[in-house]
Chains A and B, each alone.
Chain A
Amino acid sequence: MSQPVLSLNNLETRYGQIYALRGINIEVKESEIVALLGANGAGKSTTLKTISSLIQASSGSVIFQGQDITYDQPHAIVEKGVIHVPEGRMIFKELTVKENLELGSFTLQDNVERKKRMKRAFEMFPRLEERQQQMGGFLSGGEQQMLAIARALMTEPKLLLLDEPSMGLAPIIVNNIMDIIRQINKEQGTTILLVEQNAKAALKLAHRGYVLETGEIVMEGNADELSKDESIVKAYLGE
């Protein structure tokens, strides 16, 4: 039994007096894609923000590769190899595509390595190479999402946290993004925790999944089990 890459133990997060997470337990194993599903406001984004320390946990712990990172500073967590692509992509719209990618490798001191990784990003996303001198804000939604993922990969993360990568994108683009995520997982062995409202797309991709409801895990299982489960089909996959 290998040790999980990431485990959340009784993790609790509050906004003031309001509980956003009520003691959740999640495990992500090496090279797995795990989907975290749930409706709006269930606490999916809060879970990712708590892992990356944008929000402080009020109790419980976040263990990454055997190390407790619950109370680390956000930048220290990135240095350990966990990178969070936030909801809404959050690229720097007033900086060029190239500058966005460079900032993705901020923790890297070595300029030669930076160039190498940039080259690899461009091989993976040729659209970005064409547009490298343009401002991030001029990209289309799909391209912005690609930039956000490419920027995250500049650190060569061990664990990638993706928050709603399909949000606001046309179905064909969603397929495209999902293929890219699968490719990252297969080719680089990157472990991925994927938050999605689009449960159908997420479960096609993921190995396992968790369902979050008002701050609690109400269900967990293999992706194909979950996609057959009646209550999930009803609640998140449509008829």
Chain B
Amino acid sequence: MALHEVLLQQLFNGLLIGSFYGLVAIGYSMVYGIIKLLNFAHGDIYMIGAFSGLIFLTIAAPVIGAGWPSLILGLLISMTLVGLLGVVIQRVAYRPMLKAPRLSILITALAVSMILYNTVMIISAGRYRVFPAEVGTESFFIGTLRLTETRIILIVAAFSLMFILHMFITRTMYGKAMRAIALDRDTCQLMGIDVYKIIAITFFVGSALAAAAGIMAGVYYGTIHFFMGFLIGLKAFTAAVIGGIGIIPGAMLGGLLLGLLEAFGTQIPFIGTVWKDVFSFAFLILFLIFKPNGLLGRSESERM
């Protein structure tokens, strides 16, 4: 393949993986914006999403098959259930800690993460599980770009979810309240906004999006594992930092950018696929040193 063909292929791959990162990063960033918590359990929510998709498909396959219709149904059901799980975790683990020092709630998040992945480890016997989706894997070409039906549907689905989220935060009163709480919680209370309710909604939306990304990753990679959330949690954190943590469009942008950086990074001589993660975390460090407020973040001094 000629270089520009390789780059085109990597552009598509990067956007696809980047959209997964973006979906997970949104939840990371929203929660940070609203309660200043780095929710380390967020990657595990993604993993739970993948497993709940697997359970649904296993149950549904004999009845309605494991093709796209049942995947979409499973996606919606898992998003709802995992969203609710996010709300429960928020209520049980985080809300009692909201007035405690920041470190306490951070440690709580680590504990929640451990509880989640250890539970799934026991249930799944710690093994890789095949994600039982039966979707098209035959590839076809548009010009020189090699595609599959699955990849096209996944990327469309991921971008649609991001678009719906964008409409939610810019057009609905709840979305506006969410952004307002990130700016000034006390004043929101004086507007009659029930802050705890908005925090719960934030966890619901963030967890549902992570669950969706988990299922999509299951379809894309074909296998899932109880520890799959760890690395993506770190990647989503990286994406959120790149975009400007707490800023929702920044999370989407950061996710896509990180996906692209990884995809193109593998094309650099001597770096290759094995070094992909090193490559992304090197970027995290560079951003933390040179642009800690991220691409869309304003510096604290400007913010006043």
Chain B's nearest CB lies how many Å from the CB of A47? 15
> What are the interface flags for B142-184 relative to A under an 8 Å C-beta threshold, 1 for contact and 0 otherwise?
0000000000000000000000000000000100110110011
B176, B186, B188, B190: most-surrounded residue (chain A CB, <10 A)? B190
Kindly state whether residue B72 has any CB partner on chain A within 8 Å.
no
Which of A99, A106, A107 has most chain B Cβ within 10 Å?
A: A106
Which B172-209 residues have a C-beta within 8 angstroms of A?
A: 173, 176-177, 179-180, 183-184, 186-195
Which partner residue on chain A sits nearest B187 by CB separation? A90
Known contacts: A95-B176, A102-B173, A102-B176. The answer to whether A107 contacts B192 by CB under 8 A is yes
CB within 8 Å for A92 and B189 given contacts A102-B173, A103-B177, A106-B173: no
CA distance A84 to B186 in the complex (A): 11
A78, A79, A92: residue with the most chain B Cβ atoms closer than 10 Å: A92
Known A-B contacts A95-B176, A95-B179; the reply to A78 vs B186 at CB < 8 A is: no
Asked if A92 contacts B184 (CB within 8 A), the reply is: yes
- The closest CB in chain B to the CB of A89 belongs to B187
The interface residues of chain A lying within 8 Å CB-to-CB of B194 are 73, 75
Instruction: Give complex CA distance A102, B174 in Å.
Output: 11
Q: Are A86 and B179 in contact (CB under 8 A)?
A: no
Report yes or no: B192 in contact with A84, Cβ–Cβ below 8 A.
Answer: no
Give the distance in Å from the alpha carbon of A116 to the alpha carbon of B95 in the complex: 37
In the complex where A95-B176, A102-B173, A102-B176 touch, is A83 in contact with B183 (Cβ < 8 A)? no
Q: What is the number of residues of chain A that contact chain B, defined by CB distance less than 8 Å? A: 25
A103→B176 contact, CB < 8 A: yes
State whether A74 touches B189 (Cβ < 8 A).
yes
Q: Is the CB of A103 within 8 A of B190?
A: no
CB of A149 to closest CB in B, whole Å: 13
Please give, as numbers and ranges, the residues of chain B lying within 8 Å of A90 by CB-CB distance.
184, 186-187, 190
- Contacts A95-B176, A99-B176 hold; do A106 and B191 have CB atoms under 8 A apart? yes
Other-chain contact of A86, B183, B190, B193, B195 (Cβ < 8 Å): B190
Contact (Cβ within 8 A) B190 A92: no
Whether the pair A92, B180 counts as a contact (CB closer than 8 A) is yes
Most buried by B among A74, A83, A85: A74
Q: How far is the CA of A107 from the CA of B180 in the complex (A)?
A: 15
Evaluate contact between A106 and B186: CB separation under 8 angstroms: no
* B187 pairs with A86, CB closer than 8 A: yes
Q: Which residue of chain A lies nearest to B189 when distances are taken between CB atoms in the complex?
A: A74
Q: Which of A171-211 contact B (CB under 8 A)?
A: none
Name B's A-contacting residues (CB within 8 A): 173, 176-177, 179-180, 183-184, 186-195, 304
